[in-house]
């Protein structure tokens, strides 16, 4: 698993390396529900067409969790697969972070439910909410626990049951999202490949562009809040689209600058899987050819915090990412939030 990095960094913020401690992704895993919802089925539900969805987004189908298939179940399955890949047991897990906007319930944390399912009874556990950017936020936080020697093994999971908050009468949003989970195991692996840098950003002035207003303490569930459809996801798609492109480009440039590498040195980019046109716009503006982007949104749609985690797992398992490759992950979501991470795989 571990061979020393060939990269040399002048910028101390480039490589997270503290007194010989580095943070590696030692295992990846994902889980997708079996039920496939196709564009043709959506044509029967709202006034839309396969042609519109594919041409405006690239999405052809998405997965939908069963009624009794909860977020914590999907998260635990992805985690179990990542632990098997890393060769670690649940007893070795020091911390579980679940990035999600669709927890099983407001509290306790879904991470605690996962801890119980996988039997990681030595682990601390909490949820993190940074919408579609949550997985990179969670990886960066997990890494900080490893660098500070608080933890040796951290399980980071992005898991969403977005089908539970979608307004299935709103064609503007219901065609875009899907359910699923992805996970990584982070471990200290001295002098090995690892997570080189992570950028996190936010702009709360644009919070209203993408939100679910109901269910918190501002708008608790009432008969009125339910009939006003406050408990569903709402989005100003056009504005989110523009902000996504700008933020992802800025985050990518900052991450590349920190690591003192050129975009041409990247072997693979794992972008948030929201819209093919967003990914194309980001690639064009950064001068990165289309084939360097790993895209699976045609199969799963936008799975929010799970999106890049599922894509990373598929890219590794399919051989698209190889040992030593430089990989950049790019995310964007409600908040607004955004992030970028560069990994020497
Ligand atoms: O993960 C968080 C980040 N979220 C995103 O990244 C989403 C970002 N936004 C987008 O991906 C795109 O803005 C959308 C896919 C949501 C929409 O694409 P667009 O090209 O921006 O379309 P639009 O919102 O400008 O809508 C164009 C037309 C409208 O009709 P009118 O007003 O021009 O008559 C919409 O009502 O398309 C209509 N429309 C649809 N038509 C058929 C919107 N949704 C649909 C639909 N089927 N499902």
So where are the chain's domains? 1-345
The helix-helix angle for 71-86 and 307-317 (nearest 10°) equals 30
Report how far ligand 1's centroid is from the alpha carbon of 268 (Å): 28
Q: Tell me whether strands 23-31 and 179-188 are parallel, antiparallel or unpaired.
A: antiparallel
pLDDT in tens, 53-96: 999 999 999 999 999 999 999 999 999 999 999 999 999 999 99
Residue 238, classified by CB atoms within 10 Å of its CB into exposed (0-12), middle (13-18) or buried (19+), is exposed
Residues forming the active site = 132, 272, 302
- What does the alpha-carbon distance between residue 92 and residue 94 come to, in Å, rounded to a whole number? 6
pTM of full prediction above 0.85: yes
- Whether the per-residue pLDDT at 159 is higher than 80: the answer is yes
Looking at the CA of residue 334, tell me the nearest atom of ligand 1: 2
pLDDT score recorded for residue 106: 95
DSSP 208-223: GGEE--SSSSSS---H
Residue 176 C-alpha from the chain's centroid: 16
- Whether the per-residue pLDDT at 5 is higher than 60: the answer is no
Q: Which of 59, 234, 241 to mutate to test the pocket of ligand 1 (most atoms within 8 A of CB)?
A: 241
The encoded tokens of residue 282 equal 């980001």
Question: What percent of the residues of the chain are helix, what percent strand, and what percent coil, each to the nearest 5?
Answer: 40, 25, 35
- Whether the per-residue pLDDT at 304 is higher than 90: the answer is yes
The helix-helix angle for 276-286 and 237-259 (nearest 10°) equals 40
- Cα-based distances in Å from 276 to 10, 59, 281, 288, 301: 35, 8, 9, 15, 10
pLDDT score recorded for residue 192: 61
* Contact yes or no for 283/302 (Cβ under 8 A): no
Q: Measuring from each residue's beta carbon to the nearest atom of ligand 1, which residues come in under 6 Å?
A: 48, 52-53, 56-57, 132, 171-172, 175, 210, 237-238, 240-241, 244, 274-275, 278, 302, 304, 332-333
- What does the alpha-carbon distance between residue 33 and residue 149 come to, in Å, rounded to a whole number? 36
Give CATH superfamily name and number for 1-345.
Answer: Thiolase/Chalcone synthase (3.40.47.10)
pLDDT score recorded for residue 3: 46
pLDDT in tens, 160-217: 999 999 999 999 999 999 999 999 999 998 756 688 999 999 999 999 999 999 999 9
């Amino acid at each position: 698993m571990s061979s020393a990095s060939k990269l040399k960094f002048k910028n101390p913020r480039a490589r997270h390396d503290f007194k010989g401690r580095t943070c590696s992704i030692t295992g990846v895993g994902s889980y997708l529900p079996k039920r496939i919802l196709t564009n043709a089925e959506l044509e029967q539900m709202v006034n839309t067409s396969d042609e519109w969805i594919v041409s405006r987004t690239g999405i052809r189908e998405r997965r939908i969790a069963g009624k009794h298939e909860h977020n914590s179940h999907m998260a635990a399955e992805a985690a179990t697969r990542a632990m098997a890949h890393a060769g670690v047991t649940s007893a070795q897990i020091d911390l579980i972070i679940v990035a999600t906007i669709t927890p099983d319930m407001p509290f306790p944390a879904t991470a605690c439910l996962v801890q119980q399912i996988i039997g990681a009874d030595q682990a601390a556990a909490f949820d993190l909410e940074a919408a579609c950017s949550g997985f990179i936020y969670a990886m960066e936080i997990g890494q900080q626990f490893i660098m500070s020697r608080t933890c040796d093994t951290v399980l980071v999971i992005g898991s969403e049951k977005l089908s539970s908050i979608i307004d299935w009468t709103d064609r503007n949003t219901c065609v875009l999202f899907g359910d699923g989970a992805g996970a990584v195991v982070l471990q200290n692996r001295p002098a090995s490949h690892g997570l080189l840098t992570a950028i996190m950003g936010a702009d709360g002035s644009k919070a209203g562009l993408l939100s679910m207003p109901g269910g918190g303490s501002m708008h608790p569930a009432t008969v009125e809040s339910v009939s006003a459809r406050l408990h569903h996801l709402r989005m100003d798609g056009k504005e989110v689209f523009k902000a996504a492109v700008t933020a992802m480009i800025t985050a990518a440039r900052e991450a590349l600058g920190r690591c003192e590498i050129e975009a041409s040195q990247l072997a693979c980019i794992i972008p948030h899987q929201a819209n093919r046109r967003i990914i194309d716009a980001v690639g064009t503006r950064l001068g990165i050819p289309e084939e360097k982007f790993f895209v699976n949104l045609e199969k799963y749609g936008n799975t929010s915090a799970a999106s890049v985690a599922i894509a990373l797992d598929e890219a590794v398992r399919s051989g698209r990412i190889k040992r030593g490759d430089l990989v950049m992950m790019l995310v964007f979501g409600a908040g607004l939030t955004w992030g970028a991470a560069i990994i020497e795989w």
